[in-house]
Amino acid sequence: MSVSVTVPAASPLAAPVRTVFFVSDGTGITAETFGHSVLSQFELRFKQFRLPFIDTMDKARDAVNRINETFEREGNRPIVFSTLVNAEMSELVRKSNGMHMDLIKTFVDPLEQELGVKSTHTIGRNHNITDSEEYKNRIEAINFSLAHDDGQTNKNLDGADVILVGVSRSGKTPTSLYLAMQYGIKAANYPLIPEDFERGKLPGGLLEFKHKIFGLTIAPDRLAEVRNERRPGSKYAAIENCRYEINEAESMMHREGIRWMSSTTKSIEEIAATILQEIKVEKRFY
Amino acid sequence: MSVSVTVPAASPLAAPVRTVFFVSDGTGITAETFGHSVLSQFELRFKQFRLPFIDTMDKARDAVNRINETFEREGNRPIVFSTLVNAEMSELVRKSNGMHMDLIKTFVDPLEQELGVKSTHTIGRNHNITDSEEYKNRIEAINFSLAHDDGQTNKNLDGADVILVGVSRSGKTPTSLYLAMQYGIKAANYPLIPEDFERGKLPGGLLEFKHKIFGLTIAPDRLAEVRNERRPGSKYAAIENCRYEINEAESMMHREGIRWMSSTTKSIEEIAATILQEIKVEKRFY
């Protein structure tokens, strides 16, 4: 998934060069997230399958069969990202006709040495994670961010970790939800609308929380594109209107001394990571 | 973060044994997600810091300084999970006084061999990812799931990939948003409320989409606990009422032939991965 390439990785024309399996005794999210990062290094298409919850020898054998069948059909070794912790199951999968990338053995074994303790062999399981403080914080943050989406309420804003502002469709909502879901950050968000620009003031009730406000802006042509998908041909989506709103929003943020960034070419993950760095909330501490 | 231990990993009493850094030229999410999985293998507390967007030699030197200062202060090697792609920066960080876990070198180099092509050295960057179909699908799915949260509308349900049903606080909303955000799945959700139980029928408009419905249930005592945090002492949260609602909801799902699972001890990630396996939507294909 990268750019500046002649044949983009996701080109619908290119045939997948290789099949990839994400094998895990848990959700497979770790194997998949990590595998995607590694595969994104290659300008190739991959056919990808998740094999989660592989927690018995029978299921491990099924996984091996799928890997081997793929090898026979395609004539190339499938690539296998594995977070299997159980040694016996892991060994079984390792002996398949896949190229085995064992995330556990590679990193957990050296860490056991370094830390001088044995690992618990439960990777990805997260048993009873739902009882942990961190998990409860995440759920609470999701509820908070949902309740405070799009300026729905001014209640409990003192509990917010960050308050995002920006014009409609600048990326506030997905970013707020991502901050909550991934990092347990309580993120409220407020649209900046023409009425605010006419008054020349931030939406009511926000002033006292200015230190927590973070602005999102976006290039007018990109904004027009996004808004046109929603309401084609509307005044709302017209490039002149987008230019006006962005210009006013940026002036207001500048005037009020609000930190801000452009979301134009950034993914939700990148916007969220940038905001996190700026607001310096450090909630996670295990 | 695991269970069945005498001293839980997240015990507020235990002092962190070691400092961990997640070093990346991008958001650091890959390094962090992967690092968490590895560290969760140990029943220890870690002090964790993100060092994202390390994309110049100066920033790499700053990172090294932080790692070395930590080593001197604590007398133990910090653990460094790195996804730095730039060879020079990576080498600099490798030479710090940390224990270096290099996610790139370990897996990308063997893959270059296997695939017979060079990698693009852009891990975690995701430049212009916002232009990709997959990214647009994710944003669209988030908007869909938000608009269809808590039975807000029956419009466009034919566009849903899955429709979650369950009593209030059974985990529908966070699961819907996670499915959208992580997997680009359009997930609507509907509460099952006492009126539905009295009528003995699914909420109106859902019947024709029965094949897409997936139910969530939860143990009554857990439900009472969660609801009591919201509305302490209410009838809504009373254990008898929770037992009644759960009993009715499970009977209804059974009667209607709806697939369902219990969310009681499962994280959002686990619920989402299970649903995905059941509904067999395979959207991602690069």
**Residues A41-76: tens digit of each pLDDT:** 888 889 999 999 999 999 999 999 999 999 999 999
pLDDT of residue A281: 64
Q: How many CA atoms lie within 13 A of B210 on its CB side?
A: 11
Taking CA–CA distances from B270, the nearest residue in chain A reads A27
Parallel/antiparallel/unpaired status of strands B79-82 and B46-51: unpaired
Residues 6+ apart with CB under 8 A from A194: A245, A248
All residues of chain B having their beta carbon less than 8 Å from the beta carbon of residue A173 are 142-143, 146
pLDDT of residue A103: 85
Nearest to A122 among B41, B138, B267 (CB): B41
Give the length of chain B: 286
Residues A136 and A111 both lie in one domain: no
From the CA of A170, how many Å to the nearest CA of chain B?
Answer: 12
Task: State which of A63, A85, A115 marks the end of a domain.
Answer: A115
pLDDT of residue B4: 25
A34 — pLDDT class (breaks 50, 70, 90): confident
Residues A87 and A205 both lie in one domain: no
Interface of A with B in 163-202 (CB under 8 A): 173-174, 177-178, 181-182
Residues A144 and A166 both lie in one domain: yes
- Range list of H helices, A117-186: 133-147, 172-183
Going residue by residue through chain B (286 aa), what tens digit of pLDDT does each one get? 222 222 334 444 567 889 999 999 988 888 888 888 788 788 888 999 999 999 999 999 999 999 999 999 999 999 999 989 888 999 999 999 999 999 888 888 899 889 988 887 655 454 556 777 888 899 999 999 999 999 998 889 999 999 999 999 999 999 999 999 989 999 999 999 999 999 999 998 898 999 999 999 999 999 999 999 989 999 999 999 999 999 999 999 999 999 999 999 898 989 999 999 888 765 544 3
Measured torsion, CA atoms of residues B247, B251, B257, B260, in degrees rounded to the nearest 10: 10
Q: Please give the tally of structural domains in chain A.
A: 2
Q: Is the model's pLDDT at A10 over the cut of 60?
A: no
Taking CA–CA distances from B40, the nearest residue in chain A reads A123
**Residue B156 domain flag:** yes
All residues of chain A having their beta carbon less than 8 Å from the beta carbon of residue B7 are none
pLDDT of residue A5: 25
Nearest to A42 among B119, B268, B277 (CB): B119
**Residue B177 domain flag:** yes
pLDDT of residue A254: 96
pLDDT of residue A118: 83
pLDDT of residue A121: 62
pLDDT of residue A71: 97
Contact A181 B174 (CB under 8 A): yes
Task: State which of B81, B115, B149 marks the end of a domain.
Answer: B115
The total of other beta-carbon atoms located within 10 Å of residue A150's CB is 14
Residues B30 and B96 both lie in one domain: yes
**Residue A108 domain flag:** yes
pLDDT of residue A108: 86
User: Global pTM?
Assistant: 0.83
Residues B55 and B172 both lie in one domain: no
All residues of chain B having their beta carbon less than 8 Å from the beta carbon of residue A106 are 106
Residues A74 and A175 both lie in one domain: no
- Longest pairwise C-alpha distance within chain A: 69
All residues of chain A having their beta carbon less than 8 Å from the beta carbon of residue B156 are none
**Residue B23 domain flag:** yes
Task: State which of A90, A115, A140 marks the end of a domain.
Answer: A115
Nearest to B114 among A53, A99, A274 (CB): A99
**Residue A2 domain flag:** no
pLDDT of residue A129: 65
Q: Pick from A159, A171, A161: which is nearest to A280 by CA?
A: A161
Residues B224 and B100 both lie in one domain: no
The total of other beta-carbon atoms located within 10 Å of residue B255's CB is 11
Residue pLDDT, tens place only, A91-105: 999 999 999 999 888
**Residue B205 domain flag:** yes
A30 — pLDDT class (breaks 50, 70, 90): confident
Tokens of B242: 């929770």
Name the one residue in this structure whose structure tokens are 């499915």: B179
Q: Is the model's pLDDT at A253 over the cut of 70?
A: yes
Residues B239 and B191 both lie in one domain: yes
Assess contact for A118 and A85: CB atoms under 8 A: no
**Residue A213 domain flag:** yes
Residues A100 and A135 both lie in one domain: no
pLDDT of residue A11: 46
Sheet (strand B79-82) strand order: B46-51, B18-23, B79-82, B99-102
End-to-end CA distance of chain A: 33
All residues of chain B having their beta carbon less than 8 Å from the beta carbon of residue A29 are 33, 182, 269, 273
Contact B123 A174 (CB under 8 A): no
The ipTM, to two decimals, is 0.81
Name the residue range of residue B46's domain. 18-115
Any idea what the CATH number is for the domain that residue B222 is in?
3.40.50
**Residue A94 domain flag:** yes
Residues A133 and A183 both lie in one domain: yes
- Longest pairwise C-alpha distance within chain B: 69
Residues B86 and B153 both lie in one domain: no
Encoded amino acid at A93, one letter: V
Tokens of B137: 């699908």
Residue pLDDT, tens place only, A139-154: 999 999 999 999 998 8
Choose between B163 and A9: higher pLDDT. B163
From the CA of B242, how many Å to the nearest CA of chain A?
Answer: 19
Q: Is the model's pLDDT at A7 over the cut of 50?
A: no
Contact A30 B34 (CB under 8 A): yes
Residues B271 and B166 both lie in one domain: yes
Which of B6, B230, B286 should we substitute to test contact with A (largest number of A Cβ atoms within 10 Å)?
A: B286
From the CA of B222, how many Å to the nearest CA of chain A?
Answer: 11
All residues of chain A having their beta carbon less than 8 Å from the beta carbon of residue B111 are 38, 41-42, 79, 99
